Structure 1
C-alpha cells in the first residue's frame, strides 16, 4: 500500500513497537483475512500472539488505518474481528482513534468497553490495571499524538462546542494526572480506567484528584474554589485511557513541551498561538543570555513557560557539573535544584489558561511553578493583584531581575488604548525635530509589544540581560514611533545580539516576521563593540507547520541549531551563519536587520559583471538624472470599482506593464482628490514595487494610455530626465530587472510585521551599467522595441474592444 493512509499506518506501527512492546515479528501488514469463498480482504496491521499465522487462532489484534480526515472503515474492522481470533481492534485516521473488543468466547464486537489496547502479553481484561512501576516515559510521538487525538475526538463527540473551553477541561485532567503521580507515590495509581469499568466511577476518581488540585493551588488563583471538571463521564474515561500508562513526571521536558504545543496548533486556548515560542528560538536566546545558577529569571509574557523551562534546564545542568553542587548526592542535588527553581524563576501571563499550562509544565519539569502568576504585566505595579504583587512588586516599584527573557504578544490586532498607555514613554507619539531631538506628544493607542519593551527594562536590574522577540518592523521602520523605539532601546543599554528569525517561525498561527534582540541594560556601546548577528533561513517547519528537511536528506532543516553551536565562537570565519558587526556600522546604517549586514559581508567584495561598472541608483537621483516619488495613495473599499479610471496596485505590475483591473476603477472625483498637487504619470516612467507580498523589486513601464491612472503609494515612480549618459527609461527598466539587481533587492527587503518592504533602501541598489556607450544604446533599443510592440498590441486590443463592444475584461 502506497497511498495517503500509509503515513498513518507507519506511525501506528511505530507506536505499537515503542509504546506497547510489540516487535516487528509480532506484526504483519496487508495480512489476508479469509472471507469464505470470495477473495480475502487484507488487514492493514495484524498483531499475533506468537509465531503462528492462523487467522482463526493466532491473531490477537487488528488495526485499520485510513487517510487523514476519512471516517469510514469501522464496519470493515468489526467484520475482521468477527472473522478471526482477534479480541481487540483499533481504527485510526491519524488524528482520530477508536477501540473495539470481542471478548473471548463471544462473537459480538463492542465499541464502548475498551479505552486503550493491551501491551504485549496482556489480556484485554488487564487493560487499566497499572502499578507505579508500570508507568513509563511517553515517547514524543505517543504523547503529542495522544493530546491531539484526545482533543479532536472529544471535540467531535462531546457537547462542549468551544474548542478553547475543551482545551481548558483537558488541562484540568492533566493536572489531575500530575497530582496522582506526585502526591500518592506509595499507593496504586488512581488515574486509570479498567476494562468494562463504568465511566461514572472513573469520573468520580478523577474528580477527587482534581478537587485536591484545586485545594493545592488555593492561594494561586489558578482555579476557582468551586471549579470542577465539566467534561462528561464518557469523555473523561476516554481521555484517561489514553494517558494512563505513561508518566508525565518521568518524561523528558522537551517531549512534554512539544506535546503542549498541540494546544496552540489546534487553537484550543483561543487565538493565542503566538505565545508558544519554538524551542530552538528559546535555546538560542538562552545560549546568548547565559543565565547562571542563583540568578533570577523573569518572563513577563510567559505563555506556556518555554523560556523558564529552558533556562531552568541550563541552570540545573550547570549545577550538576559545577564544583559547588556537583559533589552532592543525587537526592540532595535534586533538592537543591528544586529550591533554586522556587527561588529564581518568575512568570506572568494575562491569560489564565496559559498560566495553567505553564504551571503544569513547570510542575512536570521539577517545580518553580509557585512564582508563575495570572496578571496583566502592563498594569501599574499598584494595580497588581495581591498574589502577583507579593512576587513582583517591592514598595512602589517593580522587582528587578538578573535576566528577562520573553516573547510578548504582537500577533494580535488589539492595541492598548491611549488611556491605558499614558503611563508609558512608549505609549506616546514621538516626533524628531531638525536638530535631532525627540519631542513627546499625546498618548496614543499602542502595540502591546512596544509597552512590553519598556516594562522589561523596568523589571531588569542594572547590567542585567534582556532577550526579547520583536517584529522586524521595530528594527528598521523609519516612522517616528519605530525610530523612537530604537532610540529608547539603544539609549538604555548595549545591543549584544540580533538574530534574524525565519518568516515561518510562528506560522501558521502568527504571520509576523520577527528578530530576537539581546541587550545588556545600563552599559554604553562603544564604536568597536561587536554586535553578534545571524540570519536563519529555515527553522524546521514551513508556513503550514509541516517539517522541512535538508535537500536529499532526512535531517530536519534547522539553521537555528547550527547558529546555537556557532555562538561558541561568533567571530570564526568558518561560521555559516553567525558573524559580528561593529556598533559604529549599525549606528551609521540606522537599523538592525541582520540579513542586510550578512549581504554586505558576503557581497562587499563582489565585482560587477564583466564589462560593467556599479552605479548607485540613489546617486542618479541626487544628481538630477532621475526623479523619484511615491504613488498617489489608496482609496477606500467603497471607492474601488465605482468608476472607470484605473487604480493600479502592486499586483497589477506584471510583465513590464500596468494591468488595468476593471473591477477596481475609481471615479473622476476620487482620482482628482488623490492626484491633486502630485506628479502625473508619463509614458516611459518606470514603476517600481517598494512594498508588497513577495513582489518587491518588480518593475513596469507606463505607456501613453496610462496618463490618467491612480497608483497606490506602495509603488515608486522613477522618471529619467537626462539621457546624456546613455541611461534611458528602457535601459533603466532592463537594469532593474537584472539578476544582479534583484539579488540585491532580496537583502534590502525587510518586513513591516507581515509585509515585505524595501523602504528607501532602493537608493542603495547598484546598477550594473555597461561601460561601453554602444552597448548601453543597443540594450536600450532592444528593450524599446519590445515595449513598443507590447503597446501596439494593447492599442489593437483597445480598438477591438471599441469595435466589438462586448469585451469587458
Structure 2
C-alpha cells in the first residue's frame, strides 16, 4: 500500500481551473516522492481503448476507438509504452463515488495498470487490482511512491478453476513488461541473453504448474506457481518456492528440454522472481489456448532477436491457415528446419490431434505419432527450449527438437552431431559433408530472409548447394553468396521424399524480379508449384514489412545436372 503523503498547496492554484490545479499539485508531489518526469504523462492525455479488440489494434500499432482519456498516468519504466502502464490518475469527477466508477472503468480497460488513484484535492481513493479480478478500495489513500508494492495477492490460494484465461493483449503485455521492465533492472544478472534465459526458466516453471493443475484430479487444489507468505515474507518465500519448483522441473526434464549449459538454479534476484510470479500467477497460460502461449512466447523471443538477422517469427494468423493448406495427416513425417519457437510444428500437432486423435483414449496414438514423426531444428537455444517445452506441455513431440544450423550441412559432423545422426545417411566414404536423408513427406518453414542475409559461396560449395551455382549463372563450379531463404528451399528438397511437399514463406520478389530470372530453371524437374497463399504485408507488421507469400511445392525429381540457361527461362506465374 502507498506511504502516507498529504497533498500540498492551497485548494486551487491561482489562474487554474480546480481540476487542473489538483493535477499540477499531484504532479509536483509525485516528483517530490521520487517519480521521474519521464515516467509521468499528462500531455497529451492517455487514451484508453474502448474494447478488447481495440487493445489488440493498439498492440499492432493500428488506430483504435477510445472510451476516454486519463488525467495522468505513471509508467514502470521510461518507455511510455502501454505494457509499462502502472498507475492511472483521475481528477475530473466531483465526488468519490463518481471517481470510483470512472477509475474502475479505466482499470478494466487497461490490463497492465496495477492501481488507480482519484482525488479532488480534499478526498482521495486508491483502487488496487486483486489477482482474482476483485477490487481493493482504500479511501483517504496517500499518493503512491515509486517503490510501493502494488501487488494484491488473493486471500486464498488460487486453483486451476480460479485462474483466468488472459486476453491476447494481457498476456502479450505481461511478457513485454517482464522483458522490458522487470528483468533489465535485476541486480544479479546483467547480460541480455542471460536475463532472457532466466526469465524463460521461470516461465517454464509456470508451464509445468499449469500442466499439473489442469488435470481433472487437481483442478480444485492450490496451484504451485503462486505468491507465498504474507506482506512481510512474500518476496523471500515466493522466490524460494519457485527456485525449488524449477530445480524439480529441471531434474525431471533435464534431457528432454534443457541444454548442457543450463543449470538447475534461477540466478535472478528474489525481488525479480517475485515480480514475475506476481505478473503471471493470475493466468492460465496452458490449456485449450496454446495459441495464446505461442503468441506470447513469440513476443518474448522477439526481444532477443535482431531484425537485421532476418529472423521474423511467423504470426499465428499465418501459421494456422498455412498448416491447414498442407493437409497434414498422421501418415506424414514433418520437419521445420528453421522452427523459431515451433509455431508450425505445434500447430501441426494440434490440427492432427483434433482431426484424428480427439478422444482421451487415443492420446497414446497421438504421442507415438508426434515422437516418431515431428522434427524441428533451430540454431537458437532459447527457441529450441521454447519449442520443446510447448510440445512437452501438449503431451509431447519434443523428441526431435534439435539444436543446430540446418543449412550448413558440412558442419553437422563436427558441430552438430545430433543433426548428423538424425538427418543424414551413414557415410563410410570419409566425406565431410553427409548426404541428407530423403525421409520426410512434409517440410513446412519460414526461414530467415533478407537481401543482406546470405550464405557465403564457400559454405554453399562445402554443403554442395546447386542453387548457389544456378544463381551465379556462370559454370558448374562457380558458387555465389545467396540469400539464406533460397538455400533453405534446396535443403527442403534434400529432406523430402519424391512426391513430398514443402510449404515455405519466401519474399515475393524471388519469383518476379529479373534479378532472380535463373530460379525457374533451377526449380525445373525439382519442384512443381501446387499452390500459393498471399500474405498481406500487415501480417508481419510486428516484425518486418517485407511482402511474402506461402508457397507450396511438390518434389517431382532431382533436377538437371547442367547449369541453368539464364537466357531461356521465364518467371513463375502467380497461381
TM-score, normalised via structure 1 length: 0.51
Distance 1:362 1:307 in 2: 12
Check conservation: 1:301, 1:348, Cα contact below 8 A: yes
Aligned to 1:193: 227
Residue 489 (1) aligns with residue 527 (2): no
**Residue 512 of structure 1, CA deviation:** 2.9
Alpha-carbon separation, structure 1, partners of 2:44 and 2:349: 44
Q: Please point out which of 130, 141, 146 is paired with 2:174.
A: 146
The answer to whether the 8 Å contact 1:29/1:45 transfers is: no
**Alignment partner, residue 385 of structure 2:** 356
Match of 1:219 in 2: 255
Partner Cα distance (2:304, 2:332) in 1: 34
The answer as to whether partners of 1:115 and 1:193 remain within 8 angstroms in 2 is: no
Query: Of the candidates 117, 131, 140, which is equivalent to residue 77 of structure 1?
Result: 117
CA distance in 2 between partners of 1:78 and 1:365 (Å)? 45
Q: Distance in 1 between matches of 2:538 and 2:366?
A: 35
> What's the CA shift for 1:412?
7.0
Q: Could you say which residue in structure 1 is the equivalent of 2:426?
A: 395
- Equivalence for 1:6: 47
1:517 aligns with 2:554: no
The answer on 1:468 being equivalent to 2:489 is no
Question: Shift in Å at residue 147 of structure 1?
Answer: 1.6
- 1:158 matched to 2:186? The reply is yes
Q: Distance in 2 between matches of 1:274 and 1:137?
A: 29
Q: Is this contact kept in 2: 1:61–1:89, CA < 8 A?
A: no
CA distance in 1 between counterparts of 2:497 and 2:315 reads: 27
- Report the counterpart of residue 721 of structure 1 in structure 2: none
Corresponding residue for residue 426 of structure 1: 466
CA–CA separation in structure 2 for the residues paired with 1:168 and 1:225: 9
Name the residue aligned to 2:416: 385
Equivalent-residue separation in structure 2 for 1:111 and 1:61 (angstroms): 20
1:88 is aligned, of 109, 112, 128, to 128
Do 1:30 and 1:43's aligned partners in 2 also have CA atoms closer than 8 Å? no
After superposition, residues 303-314 of structure 1 pair within 5 angstroms as: 303-314=340-351
CA RMSD of aligned residues (A): 4.5
Aligned length in residues: 474
Q: Secondary structure at the match of 1:369?
A: coil
State the Cα distance separating 1:488 from its structure 2 match. Answer: 2.3
Q: Deviations over 1:425-471 (max 9, x none)?
A: 336444899xxxx7323233332222211111111111111111122
User: What is the CA distance between 1:351 and its match in structure 2?
Assistant: 0.9
Deviation per CA, 1:129-176: give whole Å up to 9, x if none. 212432343332322222222223315643566555433332221101
TM-aligned CA distance change 1:390 to 1:154, over 3 Å? same
Q: Which residue of 2 aligns with 1:502?
A: 536
Cα distance in 2 for residues equivalent to 1:86 and 1:478 = 64
Distance 1:215 1:412 in 2: 43
Q: CA deviation at 1:309?
A: 1.8
Within 2, Cα distance between the matches of 1:280 and 1:200?
A: 41
CA displacement at 1:31 relative to structure 2: 12
Aligned with 1:315 (options 338, 346, 352): 352
1:761-780 correspondence to structure 2 within 5 Å: none
Question: How far does the alpha carbon of each residue in 1:103-134 deviate from its partner, in whole angstroms, 9 at most, with x for none?
Answer: 799979677675644xxxxxx6617x212432
| CA distance in 1: counterparts of 2:517 and 2:301, whole angstroms | 33
Instruction: Select the structure of larger CA radius of gyration.
Output: 1
Structure 2 distance, partners of 1:392, 1:337, is 23
Q: How much has 1:13 moved relative to structure 2?
A: 12
Q: Structure 2: give runs of 5+ residues left out of the alignment.
A: 1-41, 57-66, 72-89, 428-434, 560-566
**Residues 252 and 176 of structure 1: CA distance in aligned 2, closer, same or farther (over 3 Å):** same
Aligned to 2:287: 250
Contact 1:296 1:345 in 2 (8 A): yes
For residues 519-577 of structure 1, give each alpha carbon's deviation from its aligned partner in whole angstroms, at most 9, with x where no partner exists.
1112699xxxxxxxxxxxxxxxxxxxxxxxxxxxxxxxxxxxxxxxxxxxxxxxxxxxx
Q: 2:91 maps to what in 1?
A: 41
Task: State the partner residue of 1:536.
Answer: none
Deviates most, 201-210 or 498-507: 498-507
Partner residue, 1:703 = none
Kindly tell me: are residues 431 and 305 of structure 1, through their superposed partners in 2, closer, same or farther at Cα, counting changes over 3 Å? Answer: closer
1:401-412 residue pairs with structure 2 within 5 A? 401-411=440-450
- In structure 1, the residue matched to 2:197 is 168
Q: Which of residues 275, 281, 305 in structure 2 aligns to 1:238?
A: 275
Q: Equivalent residue for 2:246?
A: 210
Structure 1 pair 286–87 and aligned structure 2 pair: CA distance change class (3 A): closer
How many angstroms apart in 1 are the aligned matches of 2:252 and 2:362? Answer: 25
Residues 164, 270 of structure 1: 8 Å contact kept? no
Q: Give 1:372 shift.
A: 1.1
How big is each residue's C-alpha offset from its partner over 1:337-375, in whole Å with a ceiling of 9 and x where there is no partner? 233222221100011121122223333444222221111
Alignment check: 8 A CA contact 2:257 2:389 kept? no
Counterpart-to-counterpart distance in 2, 1:343 and 1:514: 32
Contact 1:493-1:523 at 8 Å conserved across structures: yes
SS at match of 2:377: strand
Residue 431 and residue 10 in structure 1: after superposition, are their counterparts in 2 closer, same or farther (change >3 A)? Answer: closer
- Shift in Å at residue 233 of structure 1? 1.6
Shift of 1:304: 1.3
Assess, with a 3 A threshold, how the Cα gap between structure 1 residues 8 and 111 changes in structure 2: closer, same or farther.
Answer: farther
> Equivalent residue for 1:302?
339
- Whether 1:413 and 2:441 are equivalent positions in the alignment is no
Larger relative contact order, structure 1 or 2 (CA cutoff 8 Å, min sep 6):
2
